[in-house]
């Protein structure tokens, strides 16, 4: 067994990713890309903007008591406040819904990588409850982190500190506190996703019970876990860079036909005197280009997501063989079996050699006995 699991798991993750993605299955890649939209690298939250066209009414021409014709009527402050509150509630609801789906997709992904068969609808229904627990745990960690950051800020500014030397003296401790809280919460959430989620899936546990199950192993192998955290951070940067380069190359290649065809249609419309149609064509081609690039970026994230998650599962299997979902010990067991066969072969060959030696000894004894009988018969009595 290699000494550092963070390095040994790389080859296992590579082999498992190749086995999972080959032969190329279009449906599997699309489903993996959909999961990457929620849990993968670069999966952002949906944003939207709305334009509110409010009807405006002008006063009649006669009558001096009417409003000036060039002054637009304004909404009451209560209506503006209600619209703002509704938009905030809608945004928060969408963010929570997105994160809930992402939490369930974590289990869908791990189950698919374990079974080598990725499904969405059936697996989503099956793992909705543990995903809901993971969602609640993430919300709790986020709220605790927010409180640990907000309480010192409220304490500092609530005491009425003005811009002075005392305020600047508190800047560095506050920044250090924010960095520590952010680092601890990120590591806790990362280990929850990488190690606790597979534990919950394998042994049907809750989040806290999964942490109690894996915590003794993490504490006993703290050096291995520490190196894994650093290696996972570096690996994430490398994978993100590789995906970004692949998407950039794809964008350049994809932009050439879009630019050629769109440019030809735009200049044709402009030459025909239909300038508005030309700009509509340009807008349509830009929208199609963005949509195609978005799909390509998700497809590029699919193998990266599988590799990174297989890497985490491989390290977990090395830390605890009971939680091995990838089969990191299969190669070692095969080697042991081969070694056992070799030993048996040696024993068999040794037995065959022994039998040959026994046969030769019997033959020599038989020959000696025959020769002795012949001599005795030839000797006169």
Residue 16: the pLDDT is 93
The pair of three-digit structure tokens given for residue 301, joined into one six-digit string? 């994230």
The pair of three-digit structure tokens given for residue 52, joined into one six-digit string? 């509110």
What is the chain's length?
381
Residue 374: the pLDDT is 46
Cα–Cα distances (Å) from 34 to 26, 30, 106, 294, 323, in that order, read 12, 6, 12, 11, 26
Residue 98 CB-density burial (10 A; 0-12 exposed, 13-18 middle, 19+ buried) = middle
Please, what is the end-to-end C-alpha distance for the chain in angstroms?
79
- CB-based contacts of 113, cutoff 8 Å, min separation 6: 16, 20, 306, 309, 310, 313, 325, 326
Residue 69: the pLDDT is 52
Residue 377: the pLDDT is 42
Give the long-range contacts of residues 83-89, CB within 8 A, separation 24 or more. 83/52
The pair of three-digit structure tokens given for residue 80, joined into one six-digit string? 């503006």
- Collapsing DSSP states into helix, strand and coil, what is residue 74? coil
Domain ranges of the chain: 5-40+79-331
> What is the chain's pLDDT, residue by residue, as a tens digit (381 residues)?
458 999 999 999 999 999 999 888 899 999 999 999 999 763 333 333 333 333 344 444 444 444 455 555 566 677 788 899 999 999 999 999 999 999 999 999 999 999 998 889 999 999 999 999 999 999 999 999 999 988 888 877 766 655 566 666 777 888 888 999 999 999 999 999 999 999 999 999 999 999 999 999 999 999 999 999 999 999 999 999 999 999 999 999 999 999 999 889 988 888 888 888 889 999 999 999 999 999 999 999 999 999 999 999 999 999 999 999 988 765 544 444 444 444 444 444 444 444 444 444 444 444 444 444 444 444 433
The pair of three-digit structure tokens given for residue 327, joined into one six-digit string? 């089969």
The pair of three-digit structure tokens given for residue 318, joined into one six-digit string? 């090395």
The pair of three-digit structure tokens given for residue 331, joined into one six-digit string? 């190669």
- CB-based contacts of 240, cutoff 8 Å, min separation 6: 41, 42
């Amino acid at each position: 067994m290699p000494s550092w699991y963070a390095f040994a798991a790389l080859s296992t993750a590579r082999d498992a990713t190749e086995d999972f993605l080959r032969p190329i299955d279009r449906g599997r890649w699309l489903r993996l890309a959909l999961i990457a939209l929620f849990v993968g690298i670069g999966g952002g939250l949906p944003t939207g903007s709305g334009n509110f066209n409010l009807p405006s009414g002008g006063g009649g021409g006669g009558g001096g008591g009417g409003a000036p014709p060039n002054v637009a009527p304004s909404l009451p402050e209560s209506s503006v406040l209600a619209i703002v509150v509704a938009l905030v509630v809608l945004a928060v609801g969408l963010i929570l819904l997105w994160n809930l789906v992402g939490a369930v997709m974590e289990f869908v992904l791990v189950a698919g990588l374990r079974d080598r068969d990725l499904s969405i609808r059936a697996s989503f229904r099956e793992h909705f409850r543990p995903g809901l627990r993971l969602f609640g745990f993430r919300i709790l960690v986020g709220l605790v982190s927010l409180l640990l950051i907000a309480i010192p800020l409220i304490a500092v500014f609530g005491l009425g500190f003005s811009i002075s030397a005392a305020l600047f003296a508190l800047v560095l401790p506050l920044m250090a506190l924010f960095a520590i809280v952010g680092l601890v919460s990120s590591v806790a959430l990362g280990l929850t996703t990488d190690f606790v989620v597979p534990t919950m899936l394998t042994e049907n546990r809750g989040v806290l019970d999964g942490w109690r199950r894996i915590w003794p192993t993490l504490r006993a192998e703290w050096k291995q876990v520490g190196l894994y955290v650093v290696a996972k951070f570096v690996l994430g940067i490398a994978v993100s860079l590789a995906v970004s380069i692949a998407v950039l190359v794809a964008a350049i290649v994809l932009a050439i036909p879009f630019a050629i065809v769109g440019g030809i249609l735009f200049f044709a419309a402009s030459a025909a005197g239909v300038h508005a149609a030309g700009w509509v064509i340009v807008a349509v081609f830009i929208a199609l280009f963005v949509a195609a690039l978005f799909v390509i970026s998700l497809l590029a994230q699919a193998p990266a997501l599988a590799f990174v998650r297989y890497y985490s599962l491989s390290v977990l299997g090395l830390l605890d063989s009971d939680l091995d979902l990838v089969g990191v010990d299969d190669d070692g067991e095969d080697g042991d079996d081969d070694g056992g066969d070799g030993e048996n072969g040696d024993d068999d060959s040794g037995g065959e050699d022994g039998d040959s030696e026994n046969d030769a000894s019997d033959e020599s004894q038989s020959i000696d006995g025959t020769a002795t009988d012949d001599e005795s018969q030839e000797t006169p009595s």
